[in-house]
Amino acid sequence: MPKLLCAGRLWSAPLSSRERATRTNSNSPAIGYYLSSHFTLPLDFQVLIQQFEQWANSTFNTELEEWVAIDGKSIKGTVTEAGTAYQNFVSLVSFYSSLHGVVLATQQFETNYNSELKVVQAMLEALQLEGVVFTMDALHCQKKY
């Protein structure tokens, strides 16, 4: 039976009802069909990002007037204290090369301890990209920053 590990899920061909009945447990109704999205691999995110950025920098060179899109997104399911004013969640800021179709750099941060504005500024200084066109959302159009 072919299987594929994709985005935290192990997918395989559908099982017959008899096979499904023999492969169930209390945590998953059809473990032979898929593992839940809570299945995770033990990875150090900072080490993964560091290795990824080394690969991206050695593989892709930014060109003059290349467009680089910068955006931040919150990660679903990471919110803590959801019902209060002290909500905290993990977000990612990514620099995406439109020419190459690849993320050049990404950085994780928690909203209670940092802001997207400060993370983008730090990443811009660290990457030292010159001669490129950056596109960002209106959040980054503030006089103070």
- The full DSSP string for 50-75 is HHHHHHHHHH----TT-EEEEEEEEP
Judge whether 145 lies within some domain: no
Is residue 53 domain-shared with residue 114, that is, in the same domain? yes
Asked whether residue 122 carries a pLDDT value surpassing 80, the answer given is: yes
Is residue 109 domain-shared with residue 128, that is, in the same domain? yes
Kind of pairing between the strands at 102-110 and 90-97: antiparallel
Judge whether 26 lies within some domain: yes
The helix (run of H) or strand (run of E) holding residue 4 is: strand 3-6
pLDDT given for residue 4 in this prediction: 37
Is residue 135 domain-shared with residue 90, that is, in the same domain? yes
- What tens digit of pLDDT does each residue of 79-115 get? 887 777 778 888 999 999 988 888 989 998 988 888 8
Residues 102, 95: Cα–Cα separation, whole Å:
9
Judge whether 121 lies within some domain: yes
User: Which domain does 10 fall in, by range?
Assistant: 1-42
Is residue 26 domain-shared with residue 80, that is, in the same domain? no
Where b means 16+ CB within 10 Å and e means fewer, 70-95 reads: bbbeeeeeeeeeeeeeeeebbbbbbb
Is residue 114 domain-shared with residue 129, that is, in the same domain? yes
- What tens digit of pLDDT does each residue of 26-48 get? 444 444 444 455 556 677 878 88
Is residue 55 domain-shared with residue 96, that is, in the same domain? yes
% of the chain at pLDDT higher than 70: 71
Is residue 126 domain-shared with residue 60, that is, in the same domain? yes
Q: What are phi and psi of 53, to 5 degrees?
A: -65, -35
Is residue 116 domain-shared with residue 84, that is, in the same domain? yes
